[in-house]
Structure formats: structure tokens, C-alpha cells
Structure 1
Amino acid sequence: MNLDLSRTVSPTESSKASITALNSIVLYGLAFLLAYGVHQLATAAMAHRLGIPLTLHLSHVQFLIPDRQWWRIAVIAVYGVGPFLSLLLAIGAGLLFWFYGRGRKGRLKLFYFWLALHAFNLVLGGLIAGSFTQLGFWYVPRWLFVEGGTAFPIALAVLGGIIAVITGYKAAVAFLQSHDSRTMMLYANRGQLIFTGLLVPWVVGSLLLAALKWPDLTTYEGLLFVTMGLFLLPLSISSRNELFQDTVPTPRKTTIAWAFVGAFLLLALLWRLVFNAGITLS
């Protein structure tokens, strides 16, 4: 994949690339917090409904019962409800993007795009991260098909990885349609768009989110940031080869999305304040 980052760019292109990177980082982070929040709150709500005491932390849900007190239905319900709602959220965000976002100007369509990817990653990436850590979504196939041992969840994780790669590769046009700037959409600037609109938000956004969760960041959640690459790296390659360079007839001017910046900072602050000490439900 040749991003052609050595090409000389004009001050206008450089400014738009920087703004694109900032907006993409913010929307990447905001979408993750929303998707992960839905996942964790659903998990906690199901456990609470089943009478399982728990504590919600910055990066994980701690269940306050010993392993021997779990029963099969509880394991499947508690660890399955989050990925199930995440899948619905991914589908919903994808439909919003396709029918209400891509043909309109503004940054909301880029938010839908990131939300769909993050939510889908909580499902597919959750299978992969769980196979490495034997935590999270891994428990669902493990307890659904006990006779399959650990081989079945691993096979599902491999399948999930393949689906993630295919999804990312096929999402190139959607990624390009999520941007308004005529300058950044030019094929000559495709390398800059991929770098600032995909790779920078993935790396910088993930580091910021990891810092937000520190020192509670779990290996499982850390791996979710890595598995996002199964979507984004094929997407980068496909976008580089995609000749599509159209945008909406009246695109929005490339400026910092202050409303989304404020929303991200506020949500991150609330996340830290609310979950830092842990919330216990008994």
C-alpha cells in the first residue's frame, strides 16, 4: 500500500489534512465510548437482573461472585447481551449512514461510520480478544457448545477475523463518502486522506482511550484496539485503489467540529469521574 506521503502538499491541503485528522480522532473516540458504553451497561444490566452483584469499572465489569456460582444460562446471557446489542447498533449505524448520512453534508455521517465499525468490532474483535484472554464474548460459544471445547471459540474467532478483513476491504466507498472536503477527496490526495482519516485516528484515538482507562485498562480491551486494524488496514488498501472521488454537491467547509470535540471531552470526563471509583450494584 503506497500512501505517497512524501508528495509536496500545499498549505491549504496541509491545513485540511490536520483538521481531518483532529475531527477523525474525536469522532473515533466518541463513537467508541458510545459503543463500549452500550456494551458494558447492557452486560451490567443483565447481570443485575439475574441477581449477580457487580462493580462497573473504567474498563471492565467485575462480577462479585465466585466462578462456581455461575450457571450456564447466566454465562450466556450476561456475556452475550453486550455483543448482541453491539451487532444491532452496528447494523443501525450502518443503515443510518447509508440512508441518511452519505448523501448529506456534515460530520454526522463520519460518526455513523465509526460507530458501525466500533460496534461490529465489539462482536468480531470480541471473539478474537476473548480467544487470547479467555474472557468476555469467548464465554458464549464456549458455554453454548461445551462439547466443542476451546476449539470451537477459536474457530469462530478465525472466522470473525476473516469477516472483519472482508468488511473493511468492502467499506472503501463508504469511508470516502463519509468525507466532504473536495480537496481531500481528490485521488491525488488519497494517501493523505487515508493517513489522516484512518490511520491517525486509529493509533492516536486508541492511545487516548487507553489513557482514559488507565490504570484499569484490561488486556481484553487493549486487544480490541488492535483488532480494529483487521477492519482498517484492508480498508486503507482498498481506499487507495478506489477511484471514487465524488462528494456531496454542497459540502461543508473543512473546519474543526467543535460540537463533537466538546461532546467527546465531556463524555470522557464523565466516564472518568463516574467509573474511576467503581459503581457497585448488588
Structure 2
Amino acid sequence: MSAPASVATSSATTKTTITALNSTVIYLLAYLLINGLHQLSTVAMAVRLSIPGVWGVSSIKFSISDPEWWRTAVLAVYGVGPAVCAVVAIGAGLWFWKRERGKRGLRKLLLVWVAFHACNQVLGAMVGDTFTESGVWYVPSWLFLAGNTPNVVVAVLCGLLQMVVGYVAAVGFLQTHDSITLMQYPNRRKLIVATILIPWMAGSALLALLKYPDLSLNERLHFLTMGLLLLPLSLACANELFEFTVEFPQKTKTAWGLLALTGAVALGWWLLLATGRHF
């Protein structure tokens, strides 16, 4: 009688491991896409306003001095990235909810992580950048021109909103998983670890390695502010009794295609920006 139980345990462990791997790969791919879109939008706006700089692996450094900036330029250059990400977050969330959540496969999980990362580039970035008084922090600073108090208030509100987003996203996030075994409520802790905590921690570590030694303080803080979304999400998932999946779930298997695509995107990112791109 022990053999079947042992086989079942081994099968469940294998499913959990594969799920954690796939989730981490999707976490990385979604981050690279959103971070790239954010930075590309920023560079495009800077080029349009004839503001020179260098686009590096982890940050964009502008070549003009502080007195050369003007208010419209600050709001446009530092605001366009978050604005684009806000649109993407809403679009990806709606696409998932209206078209993908009832389908099998990993596309729905990718859409949710795209929405999460895009949200963090807006709300989480405001929190992190307020500590360094750089990045998107310049937007409220130059918008209000009333000292740092309004900026801190905006950052606190953004942090709270990010926590709310994470908490209310629990049911939607649970619907991104096809595994009948992991979706069973007794296995909820395993699901949270495999699909939220491991992707966040392992994904952040791998991204840090990819961008070392150029990893900026702002980006490190953005890795941390993702927790403002993911920790409430984990808590809500732990308390949520929902345990259904699609009618014909996809078998749990390693997403080799996504793994190769993510590796190619990461390698391309490094090769393109390792020496810095002047604009």
C-alpha cells in the first residue's frame, strides 16, 4: 500500500517543481517586457525632446545638467513610462478577465504577471523612487512644486493602492492555474510558494545577476516594492476557498518554448545594452 502513496507524493512534488519553474520563467519574461517597454518609452520621449543620454542595462542616465531641465520635459520624460505601463496593466488585466481566464494554458498566467509588473512600474515605483528622490518621484515633485510632503503622500497612497490590487486579485490569480492537484485547498500553501514566492525571490535574484554590476538602487527597490502586491496576494489566496480550474486543464509540463524565449530576450537585452546606448 505504500508504493502508490509514494508514487503520488513524487508526482505531486514533480508537478510543484515544474509549476514553480514555469512561473519563474513567466515572471522573468513579463518583467523584461514591461521594464523594456517602460525604458523604451522614456528614451523615445527624451529623443523627441532632444534630451541626450545613455540607455544602460539597468537605468537611463541623461546627459544634461539639472538647470537645463524644464518642467514640461520632466513631466513628459519621467511620466511617459508609468503612463504606458498603466495602460498595459489595465489592458492585460481586462484581456485576461474577459478572454483568457476560462482557457487552458500559460497565456493567462503571462497576462496576469504582465499586469502585475506593469502595476509595480507605476505604484511600486512611486514608493521606491520616493526613497531615492529620483525616477517617477520627479513627476509629483515637479507637478505640485510644494516641497516633499505631497510626494510622500502620493507614495503612501500608491503603496496602499498596490496592496489593495494584490489582495483583490486573488481569485483572478488562482484562475491562472490548470493543475487540479495544486488548486485543491489543502495544497494552497504549496501553490502560493511555487507560483508567487519562488518566482518573486528567484526571479529578482536572476534579474539582479543579469544586470550586475550595473544594477541600480531604484531597480533593487522595485524588486522589493513588488512585495506590496505579492504579499497581500499570498494572504488573500491563503484565505480564498476557490479551488476550481478549467474543464479540460493542460497537463503540467515544462514550458521549454517560454524558457528559450525568456533566455533569448535576456541575452538580447544584455548584448544590446551592456556597453550603453547613446541617444
Provide the TM-score with structure 1 as the length reference. Answer: 0.95
How far did 1:237 drift? 0.8
1:133 has 2:169 as partner: no
Residue identity over aligned pairs, in percent, reads 50
**Runs of 5+ in structure 2 lacking a partner?**
1-7
Q: Aligned residue for 1:6? A: none
Q: Which amino acid aligns with 1:80?
A: G
1:58 has 2:63 as partner: no
Q: Aligned residue for 2:38? A: 39
Q: Identify the match of residue 163 of structure 1 among 139, 161, 164.
A: 161
Deviations for 1:144-188, whole angstroms, at most 9, x for unmatched residues?
A: 000x21111110000011101111111111111010011111111
1:172 has 2:170 as partner: yes
Q: How does 1:202-217 map to 2 (within 5 A)?
A: 202-217=200-215
How far did 1:200 drift? 0.3
How far did 1:255 drift? 0.2
How far did 1:54 drift? 1.2
How far did 1:126 drift? 1.1
How far did 1:246 drift? 0.4
Determine helix, strand or coil for the equivalent of 1:59: coil
Q: Which amino acid aligns with 1:31?
A: A
Determine helix, strand or coil for the equivalent of 2:226: helix
Deviations for 1:60-116, whole angstroms, at most 9, x for unmatched residues?
A: 011011111111100000000000000001011101111121110000000001000
* Separation in structure 1 between the aligned mates of residue 261 and residue 111 of structure 2, nearest angstrom: 15
Deviations for 1:203-232, whole angstroms, at most 9, x for unmatched residues?
A: 000100111111111110110010000111
* Separation in structure 2 between the aligned mates of residue 158 and residue 124 of structure 1, nearest angstrom: 9
* Separation in structure 1 between the aligned mates of residue 57 and residue 105 of structure 2, nearest angstrom: 31
Q: Which amino acid aligns with 1:69?
A: E
How far did 1:189 drift? 0.7
Q: Identify the match of residue 275 of structure 2 among 239, 259, 277.
A: 277
Deviations for 1:14-72, whole angstroms, at most 9, x for unmatched residues?
A: 00000010001000000000000000000000000000011100010110111111111
Q: Aligned residue for 1:236? A: 234
How far did 1:247 drift? 0.4
* Bigger Cα displacement from structure 2, 72-81 vs 94-103: 94-103
* Separation in structure 1 between the aligned mates of residue 68 and residue 45 of structure 2, nearest angstrom: 16
Question: Pairwise CA RMSD of aligned residues?
Answer: 0.7
* Separation in structure 1 between the aligned mates of residue 132 and residue 139 of structure 2, nearest angstrom: 14
What is the number of equivalent residue pairs in this alignment?
272
* Separation in structure 2 between the aligned mates of residue 162 and residue 279 of structure 1, nearest angstrom: 36
Q: Which amino acid aligns with 2:108?
A: K
Provide the TM-score with structure 2 as the length reference. Answer: 0.96
Q: Aligned residue for 1:14? A: 13
Determine helix, strand or coil for the equivalent of 1:62: strand
Q: Aligned residue for 1:76? A: 75
Determine helix, strand or coil for the equivalent of 1:48: helix
Q: Aligned residue for 1:3? A: none
* Separation in structure 2 between the aligned mates of residue 184 and residue 152 of structure 1, nearest angstrom: 44
**Runs of 5+ in structure 1 lacking a partner?**
1-8
